[in-house]
Structure 1
Amino acid sequence: MNTSDFDGTAARSVAERLRTWEWIYLGYLLFLPAQPYFSPDPAWWEWPLTITVCAATVLLYALALLRGPSGWNLWASLVPMAVLGALATPFNAAASVLFIYAAAAAGNALPWPVARRWFTALTVLDCVTALLSQVPLLYRLLGFASALVMVWVVGLLELQQRDRRQELENQRLRTSQVELLATLAERERIARDLHDLLGHSLTAVVMRAQLTKELVLADPQRARAEAEEIERNAREALAAVRSTVTGWRRTSIRAELEVARRTLAGTGVALQVSCAEEPALVAATEHELGLALREAVTNVARHARASTCRIGLDTDGERVRLVIADDGIGGDAAEGTGLTGLRERVARLGGAVQRSGSAGTTLTITVPKAVAG
């Protein structure tokens, strides 16, 4: 499991725990039967009233939690709870717990300025019902005083938990977005590398196959050698595909110069390499620069109709310059996907590509040196 998976799972786990605590608030309903149970002479209607109030509270509170704290769902739970509390508390002080549930519903859904006004209104309603109550003074003090405090405590806790849940949901969405962007970037990398690697390898295979076909009767020994080279190129292409998909492939300037030598030799193009000193590059930079070299050589072999290709590599202060020049047809033809991809690859390194189409074609690739420490 990667870090983003862990972050997303942790966010969901914490949000679920916060939601579980909201159901625990129903435990306050246990106070409602206290008054008729301990009353020395309860009226006949006290027990039915208590059961009805408990059932209605559970229904309204569940509506607020399960259907979502927005729109008519909010008002269909918040307002009836406050009204039911105002009607029941004059006869049962513990019914003031409904003000607490109304505060929880308000804190769970309303912004702080509106929720604060609701908490204040519920506090006033609690005081008014205390004055109108027929409950003995002791029950009245216990019920209404505790409700007076808990309206604010529970309401503020719900506000805090709602903000926390929103933060966790935002974190989960950010994690999902990062995962999506990483997936898209990986797909682009694979597509780009496959184009560069397979484009070169398959070009070499096609050209050598054409040469082999011409040599089968004229020079069987050389045709056999070319067929062996075709097999080698195909195996290298297969290995490149596998390593590209797994993300472990790394190439180097030295390796790509050898690949360029074999590729151009198969098409009858002479290669001249000028490299005073091989620069020390970080692996990622050398890999990208090596693939850029491969794409440029592939274009020479495929399109240039050249007899000579010159590759030069030198450093200029903090920058590395790679020059690929041929004596082919040149011109200012529109750039294909290969050269466009090469420009994008070099741009990611903070470099640039210059193209000249006079007297053949010259590509000058300049990137930051990025010397490994």
Structure 2
Amino acid sequence: MSDNDAPMEARGMSEWLREWFRPAPDSLVAGSVRKGKSPWVDSVHLLWSAWIFITPVFDHFTWLWAALTLLSYPVFLLLYAKSHLVSRREAPAYAVSLLAMCMLLLPWYPSGLVYFVYSCVMMISCRMSMRRYLVVLAGLNAVILLEAWFLHYPWQAIVWMPLTTFIIGMIISVERTNEAKDAELQLSHEEVRRLAGLAERERIGRDLHDLLGHTLSLITLKLELSRKLFDRDSEAARREMEEAEKVARHALAEVRSAVSGIRATDLAAELASARLLLESSRVHFDYGDLPTDLPADIERGFSLIVREAATNIARHAEASAAKIEIIREHASVRMLISDNGRGGISSDGNGLCGMRERVRALGATLTIESPRGHGTKLRIVAPVPILRLVETSRAPSDLSLGPTLNTNASGNPAV
């Protein structure tokens, strides 16, 4: 072999190893990465493998045990890692391989019972229902207990083995189930927001079609009639043009009203998403009617606060009911969030810290009442600038499409 072949062979081996340890799209590691978790999150379960080295304390240390540990433990780590990297369809092969290694070592290696526990745990990564997993777990325990009894293992080992495997298996299975439910819930939240946005776009399309289609047709007819009457009856033509102006002003007011209703879309979608989250956590959620004249920045800030509050209630409050009220006052907007949970908030967690940041960004105030055992009440008051009050309170008839024409002393129009 030439000198140039050695680096090429080394590169080929490196690429083969990289490809061999590349996670499959539907593997446990790939799923953890998609959820924003570390790819090594499941390696924490390897701490239980310490029992492999503790076993000689209860029996007696031998050089055969040391040799078998040095040979089997790296193989165990490799099989465990591959079961998390390969496709869910291929994962059972690695669990069965570890089980076979355990059964081969069991006559001389009591620590192999720990490998059996891990083989049962690795079965959870396969695509199977809870009922099927329990049946498989019972069958595996029957096989290993039969071998342990035939090898005259102590009765303590025979008793604690099925109990340990079932407990650990159930714990990890519940973790997997909760992760799957969280993923489904996240998809449901995104679907709620998408449907809310789609419904709002459809509503806007219908409103604009009904409003502008009829109004513009009427304005066109009025202007055509005034043009025809201009030479014959100037007074009638003037009246038709005045009516067309009134219709246009009225249409402008209705368009502004429709646009102000659009501003509550994000908040409405967030409230619908909060209801989905809380109802799935068995918390009855209620909220009143939304104001249609919320300033855009306040409406956006309130949406983020609602998201934080709903998440806190679902995770920490242990409540059975929650309510949100949004009240539009003369110079402010007030939002009240309450639940009947355990209360007793003494310090700010991540959720409350994020909520306070949103409140500060709005220039608002946040008041928290949380007596222990009597739920929690949040009161957010956001000021509305005077300029916005003037704009929203201005009468529709005062609004115009352009600069107002005034007549000067000579009777000529001036801007």
Q: What is the TM-score of this pair, normalised by structure 2?
A: 0.45
Q: What is the TM-score of this pair, normalised by structure 1?
A: 0.49
Q: Larger helix proportion, structure 1 or 2?
A: 1
Q: Report which structure shows greater RCO (CA 8 Å, sep ≥6).
A: 1
